[in-house]
């Protein structure tokens, strides 16, 4: 008798693929957001939080660490790219690169905190479910 897997057991993507997906989606959201309103707004924040949850659900269990450290690095990478190309989207137009990154991170710190916390929470639940399933199936 085979049981269907739950949402917590579904993720089977390798860590590298999930990182690439996260970067592609985050960049797409930034392009759309900056194209629509001229800056990084609440739209990015909401999409970032949803993206963090989605990435935590998509990754395979052996690559939990990769996704567990991804949200802050993803936001820093996005904001660094913006600081070089469009600093006015995350900070004052006259700010230097480092100041623009710091300003962007401070303005969107709530999204980073919530997204990162939910990502780690989802990974913790998945780890716990995985252990329970392994113990009931005998590691099969």
pLDDT of the residue at 131: 84
Query: Domain residues of the chain, as ranges?
Result: 9-137
How crowded is residue 107: how many other Cβ atoms within 10 Å of its Cβ? 16
pLDDT of the residue at 1: 39
Q: Rounded to two decimals, what is the model's pTM?
A: 0.90
Q: What gap in Å lies between CA 137 and CA 131, rounded to an integer?
A: 10
- Tens of pLDDT along the chain (140 residues) come to 356 677 777 889 999 999 999 999 999 999 999 999 999 999 999 999 999 999 999 999 999 999 999 999 999 999 999 999 999 999 999 999 999 999 999 999 999 999 999 999 999 999 998 888 767 776 55
Are 59 and 8 within 8 A, CB to CB?
no
Judge residue 50's burial from the number of C-beta atoms within 10 Å of its C-beta, 0-12 exposed, 13-18 middle, 19 or more buried: middle
pLDDT of the residue at 79: 98
pLDDT of the residue at 6: 72
pLDDT of the residue at 139: 56
Handedness of CA 46, 22, 61, 137 (dihedral sign): positive
């Amino acid at each position: 008798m085979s049981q269907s897997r739950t949402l917590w057991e579904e993720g089977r993507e390798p860590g590298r693929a999930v990182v690439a997906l996260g970067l592609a989606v985050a960049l797409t959201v930034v392009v759309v957001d900056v194209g629509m309103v001229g800056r990084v707004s609440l739209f990015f924040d909401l999409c970032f939080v949803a993206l963090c949850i989605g990435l935590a659900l998509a990754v395979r269990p052996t690559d939990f660490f990769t996704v567990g450290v991804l949200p802050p690095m993803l936001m820093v990478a996005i904001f660094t790219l913006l600081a070089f190309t469009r600093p006015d989207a995350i900070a004052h137009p006259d700010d230097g690169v480092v100041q623009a990154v710091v300003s962007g991170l401070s303005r969107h710190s709530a999204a980073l905190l919530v997204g990162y916390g939910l990502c780690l929470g989802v990974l913790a639940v998945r780890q716990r479910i995985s252990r329970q399933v392994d113990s009931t199936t005998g590691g099969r």
